[in-house]
Amino acid sequence: MECIFCKIVNKEVPSEKIAETETVLAFLDINPKAETHILIIPKTHIASIADPGAENVVGDLVKMAKQIAESHNISGYKLLFNVGREGGQMVDHLHLHFLSGKVTELP
Amino acid sequence: MECIFCKIVNKEVPSEKIAETETVLAFLDINPKAETHILIIPKTHIASIADPGAENVVGDLVKMAKQIAESHNISGYKLLFNVGREGGQMVDHLHLHFLSGKVTELP
């Protein structure tokens, strides 16, 4: 199993955890493109938004984003899915970018 | 009723429609920030991702994005929600930005 995000879920690779539920994990992006740059992922391996049924988990990812915003008193933020290499997706495990503050570069 | 996107749904304001279901409408952004820049909205008025329960409609918006990508043979794209003025949200009716090709400016 070579997926870096699955390894983060399984604690084989360390991460700075922000929040967690039974099905979703949020952790800091190690290469931040904004003042606050968090990745929110399903714990099960789904490669991409383009996968069949992937749309059924995005509600859970967005719900966690809202909870993080509320608990950190963040009123303005961006939620971004990159799809495919040309869309900027660098890791083939579905992830939602949570960006707030100045965005230095589009992930 | 002053919401510009509700007026587009009700055809009081014209738009270049891309796709439509019973609950979701997709149309071209009039001020495109990418080669392809489509807005995907719920037909009912929801102000923001931050609204209670808004996470329950994002699956439908993402599903339409996937259908548009497939029907237009777009393999790489970005899906973006802006939340709040500081997050870049300019219209207070929930909308998902579909961006593909060169992004000239972050919406």
pLDDT by residue (tens digit) across A34-48? 999 999 999 999 999
Q: What pLDDT is recorded for position B8?
A: 98
Give the gyration radius of chain B's Cα atoms.
13
B77-92 as b/e: b if 16+ CB within 10 A: bbbbbbbbeebbbeeb
Give residue ranges of A with CB < 8 Å to any B CB: 49-50, 54-56, 58-60, 62-63, 65-66, 69, 75-89, 100, 103, 106
Mean pLDDT to the nearest integer, A93-102: 97
What pLDDT sits at residue A1? 65
Is the pLDDT at B1 greater than 80? The verdict is no
Judged by CB atoms closer than 8 Å, whether chains meet at A83 and B76 is answered as: yes
pLDDT digits (tens, 9 = 90+) for B36-88: 999 999 999 999 999 999 999 999 999 999 999 999 999 999 999 999 999 99
B55, A75: Cβ pair inside 8 Å? no
Q: In B, which residues are within 8 Å of A71 by CB distance? A: none
Active site residues of B: 95
Q: What is the DSSP string of chain A?
A: ---HHHHHHTTSS---EEEE-SSEEEEE-SS-SEEEEEEEEESS----TTSTTGGGTHHHHHHHHHHHHHHTT---EEEEEEESGGGT--SSS--EEEEEEEE-S--
Summarised one tens digit per residue, pLDDT across range A30-86 is: 999 999 999 999 999 999 999 999 999 999 999 999 999 999 999 999 999 999 999
Nearest C-alpha neighbor of A67 from the set A107, A14, A18: A18
Model confidence, pTM:
0.97
> Would you please indicate which residues of A are annotated as catalytic (active-site) residues?
95
Tens of pLDDT along A4-21?
Answer: 999 999 999 999 999 999
Q: What is the ipTM of this complex?
A: 0.97
Percent of chain B with pLDDT over 90: 96
Beta strands in chain B (DSSP E): 17-20, 24-28, 34-42, 77-83, 96-103
pLDDT grade for B106, boundaries at 50, 70 and 90: confident
- A63 interaction partners in chain B (CB closer than 8 Å): 55
